[in-house]
Structure 1
């Protein structure tokens, strides 16, 4: 069981779900796109049972958390600011920071920004590549001038929102299946025109993937029916601003003990193969593990494995 609280921090209302003993060591679980706090349901129970104080926020733009309209309200420093302010509010001085997908990006940056308070860090599915020499969005535009790429599609406010919000259960089924190990084809980019829509060429299977129960699926759908997709998509519209606002982090390494988990069938792994290979040069104490027969939704597809690795890692490093 979790308790949900609204924290008034960083000029927003941040919805956070808590579980475990109040005097337990704090473990933050940061979700990605298009997901919600409930994507950590299996980890929340396991971590709480092990005596940790679990904090699972609905990230900025999602669910019951505020969703500011301006695009620039979603750069990575601001997103980290939400968690930093929540840690201040809760009196957290030593935490474990764990993230998946976009939540992993926030977790990696939290480790850089808070080297004293973030004792250990774990990222799932999205590796840490450091600050690029120029904004990643510029490189994407060069490489995908005439081909579809989901991130480029997300750049124009309103267009992707209209598609994804037209039938939210269908959107969630297609994205979940499309990035699962059992899915058919990669939904991130493909052999279609640059001006195509994201999911038009996908066939709706009509049911969630096997790893996501109907009850869990309903929580995901409710999240986006409440908040829509504008806030979550705005995360993707800040690559240039992220690059500008992280200038002082250029060349910085993550010194804390770190754990990186990814599925062997995760399309992000193919897209970020070079980054994964160079990650030990940026995180000297990183442990990396690849899960077999697993797609992008690692904590849902392989919950027992994720829990085993997380608990063992925390037992060794989060003292």
Structure 2
């Protein structure tokens, strides 16, 4: 069985989804620079196991609409898309799976609409309490010392133009740099003002052991068509997310949570605090499992597909016995 494709009107955007299988719904949320396609191996595995697996292109990515204003990329806005998707498939709840900014979105969804969340399976981006100041404050301080992609992404039009000049070269370099085959934080050795593509390492020629040429061509083809502005706007909305979550400052999602991460993931090493697992264990009340995947990096679902699928299916079996 291959995925089917259609569009859902969320009331905010026209959202493209790929879906495969029948049964309890499981909704996958990607990050940047990805589309819903990064989950295609998980869709196949879950549909074969009797689940309805759904991977939307989130706002600004793939075939989903890319709104113009930054406020339209907040987690609050995109959570509305996910709730509209649940309504569209006539489901009271779903299990949600997320990585990168898709993970941050799901942590917030668990706060805003816990009654619609059967459980969360989060990859690589652990929950952390709300910071005392907006994230952009800390990024600006770090970017005074070395290149930092988070700060580089902030000024509208700059990164957009640079990345669009060589989209395939950028994507191959950033996917490789984020993988377990490279130490991503080495990009911090570059000075402020460096272009992202120049801070990234040269990537080996495709195919790689964990990514085929055809898979890369599918991902790159979308960004060659759309550019990168939609995804970059997610980063530009992060301080706004901080403002909009003031009411949740001292709370954590109380839904069931399963967490899996790559041993060499850069978010775990450099962007999630000194003791991200201990922090998450201390504040997330229903954290049911934590799994480390040896040698894998940020795209752990592609780098270690079998391990992630096994973890997913085990988690789903507990949530839907």
Deviation of the 1:34 alpha carbon = 0.8
Counterpart of 1:85 in structure 2 is 84
Deviation of the 1:146 alpha carbon = 2.9
Give the count of matched residue pairs: 316
Matches within 5 A, 1:93-172: 93-172=92-171
Deviation of the 1:208 alpha carbon = 4.7
Counterpart of 1:261 in structure 2 is 260
Measured against aligned partners, the alpha-carbon deviations of 1:298-319 in whole angstroms (never above 9, x if no partner) come to: 0000000001111011101235
Note if contact 1:108-1:128 (Cα within 8 Å) is conserved in structure 2: yes
Higher helix share: 2
**Within 2, Cα distance between the matches of 1:20 and 1:97?**
16
Counterpart of 1:317 in structure 2 is 319
Deviation of the 1:94 alpha carbon = 1.9
Note if contact 1:130-1:251 (Cα within 8 Å) is conserved in structure 2: yes
Matches within 5 A, 1:1-319: 1-21=2-22, 24-183=23-182, 185-186=183-184, 189-201=187-199, 202-271=201-270, 272=272, 273-286=274-287, 287-319=289-321
Note if contact 1:173-1:208 (Cα within 8 Å) is conserved in structure 2: no
TM-score w.r.t. structure 2 length?
A: 0.94
Deviation of the 1:189 alpha carbon = 4.3
**Within 2, Cα distance between the matches of 1:159 and 1:152?**
11
Note if contact 2:142-2:148 (Cα within 8 Å) is conserved in structure 1: no
- 5+ residue gaps, structure 2, are none
TM-score w.r.t. structure 1 length?
A: 0.95
Measured against aligned partners, the alpha-carbon deviations of 1:176-229 in whole angstroms (never above 9, x if no partner) come to: 11111113x426841222111112143243425321111111110111122210
Q: CA RMSD in A?
A: 1.5
Note if contact 2:262-2:296 (Cα within 8 Å) is conserved in structure 1: yes
More deviation, 105-114/186-195: 186-195
The 3-state SS of whatever aligns with 1:265 is coil
Deviation of the 1:274 alpha carbon = 2.8
Deviation of the 1:118 alpha carbon = 0.3
Deviation of the 1:266 alpha carbon = 0.9
- 5+ residue gaps, structure 1, are none
Runs of 4+ in 1 over 6 A off after TM superposition: none
Note if contact 2:179-2:265 (Cα within 8 Å) is conserved in structure 1: yes
Deviation of the 1:95 alpha carbon = 0.8
**Within 2, Cα distance between the matches of 1:47 and 1:83?**
19
